[in-house]
């Protein structure tokens, strides 16, 4: 009974928080959902563990000839012990599924005011191409306060662009285009690491997301664009 109450309480509390602040930042939403699920599974786990521990202590064999005294369940009890746990588990399942789905939508619906960058992965580097044609390798420089969308593919094996700090990864594969987005809000550096076994040097396939203030980003971005134009002109001249 108390499990139903706890579940109902959690459901109500969670629904309230979700409704108040729709998820703008999937990473923050991830942390919140993770905490909720941890509470949920801890309650279930502790309940089961306590019952088991109590049975083990209470019903230990006291003399060598003792046998268990459990009676055969009546039909009604057997059905009850099947149907009631089923509904408790299903209630918890659907509660979790609903919250998981809501966060999933946040992860898959990319804000319109985004910076869209192409990524081609290869053994063993991350190659980014910005909208203006500027290319970087293993360093993804982005402005703070703007959602970043990566459209990803791979030129050889399967890789997975994992940014632990932004709680997101998605595989990049040859012949397919996948995407992920994240929302960098403060300047700083975040590690990018490969999360799909891609070859011998898999564990050395590392890069970083460098978040810089917007002004600094714009300066860098236009400067790189200019450089690109110059080298492009030189090439044409030749």
Partner 1 sequence: MGKTLKEWIFTTDHKRVGVLYLIGSLAAFGVAGVMALLMRWELTTIGPTLTENPSTYNVWLYAHGAVMILGFQIPALTGFFANYCIPLMIGAKDVAFPRLNAFSVWLFYVGIILAILTFFIPDPPDVMWTAYPPYSTITSGNTAFYTFTVLILGFASILGGVNFLTTVAYMRAPGMTWNKLNIFVWCTLAAFVLQLIFVPVLGTAVTLISFDKYLGTSFFDPAKGGDVLIYQNLFWFYSHPAVYVIFLPFIGVVYEIVATFARNRVFNYKMVVYGGIFGIVGLSGVVWVHHLYVTGMADWIRIGQMVTTLLISVPVGFTVIGLVGTLYKGAISFETPMLYALGVIFLFLIGGLTGIPLALTSLTLHLSDTYYVVGHFHYVMAVAGTFAIFGGVYYWFPKITGRMYSETLGKLGFWITFAGTNIVFWIMMDIGVKGMPRRYYDYAHFPQFENAHQWMTFGAALIGVGFALAVINWIVGAARGAKAADNPWGSQSLEWTTQTPPPPGNWKEVPAIREEWDPYAYARP
Q: Where in 180-199 is the site for partner 1 (CB under 8 A)?
A: 180, 191, 193-199
Q: Does 50 bind partner 1 (CB under 8 A)?
A: no
Only segment of 11-19, 26-34, 139-147, 217-225 that touches partner 1 (CB under 8 A): 26-34
Nearer to partner 1, 50 or 233 (CB): 50
Give buried/exposed letters for 52-79 (b at 16+ CB in 10 A, else e). eeeeeeeeeeeeeeeeeeeeeeeeeeee
Pick from 11, 117, 121, 171 the residue near partner 1 by CB under 8 A: 171
Indicate the angle between helix axes 75-108 and 26-58, nearest 10 degrees.
160
Q: How far is the CB of 101 from partner 1 (least distance, A)?
A: 6
Q: How far is the CB of 20 from partner 1 (least distance, A)?
A: 19
Only segment of 14-22, 33-41, 132-140, 221-229 that touches partner 1 (CB under 8 A): 33-41
- Sheet of 159-163: strand order equals 139-143, 206-212, 188-194, 159-163, 168-172
- Candidates 102, 193, 187, 116; CA nearest to 151 is 116
Angstrom distance (rounded) from CA 40 to CA 52: 19
Pick from 21, 52, 132, 222 the residue near partner 1 by CB under 8 A: 52
Nearer to partner 1, 40 or 120 (CB): 40
Pick from 22, 201, 229, 233 the residue near partner 1 by CB under 8 A: 201
Angstrom distance (rounded) from CA 198 to CA 28: 29
Residues 107-136 that bind partner 1 (CB under 8 A): 107-108
Q: How far is the CB of 227 from partner 1 (least distance, A)?
A: 29
- Candidates 87, 70, 65, 80; CA nearest to 7 is 87
Fill in the per-residue mask, 68 to 107: x = in contact with partner 1 (CB under 8 A), - = not in contact: xxxxxx----x--xx--xx--xx-xxx-xx-xxx-xx-xx
Residues 131-160 that bind partner 1 (CB under 8 A): 156-158, 160
Q: Does 30 bind partner 1 (CB under 8 A)?
A: yes
Give buried/exposed letters for 136-155 (b at 16+ CB in 10 A, else e). beeebbbbbebbbbbbbebe
Angstrom distance (rounded) from CA 149 to CA 143: 12
């Amino acid at each position: 009974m108390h499990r139903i109450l706890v579940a109902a309480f959690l459901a109500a509390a969670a629904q309230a928080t979700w409704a108040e602040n729709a998820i703008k930042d999937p990473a923050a939403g991830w942390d919140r959902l993770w905490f909720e699920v941890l509470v949920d599974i801890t309650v279930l786990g502790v309940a089961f563990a306590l019952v088991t521990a109590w049975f083990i202590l209470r019903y230990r064999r006291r003399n060598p000839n003792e046998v268990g005294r459990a009676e055969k369940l009546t039909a009604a009890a057997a059905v009850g012990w099947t149907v009631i746990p089923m509904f408790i588990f299903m209630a918890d399942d659907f509660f979790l599924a609903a919250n998981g789905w809501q966060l999933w939508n946040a992860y898959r619906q990319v804000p319109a005011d985004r910076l869209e960058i192409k990524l081609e992965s290869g053994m063993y580097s991350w190659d980014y191409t910005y909208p203006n044609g500027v290319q970087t390798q293993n360093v993804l420089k982005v402005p703070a306060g703007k959602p970043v969308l990566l459209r990803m593919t791979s030129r050889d094996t399967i890789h997975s662009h994992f940014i632990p700090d932004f709680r997101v990864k998605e595989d990049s594969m040859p012949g397919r285009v996948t995407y992920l987005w994240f929302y960098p809000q403060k300047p700083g550096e975040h590690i990018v690491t490969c999360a799909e076994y891609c070859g011998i040097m898999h564990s050395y396939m590392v890069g970083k997301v460098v978040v810089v203030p917007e002004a600094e980003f714009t300066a860098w971005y236009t400067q790189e664009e200019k450089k690109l134009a110059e080298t492009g002109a030189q090439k044409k001249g030749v």
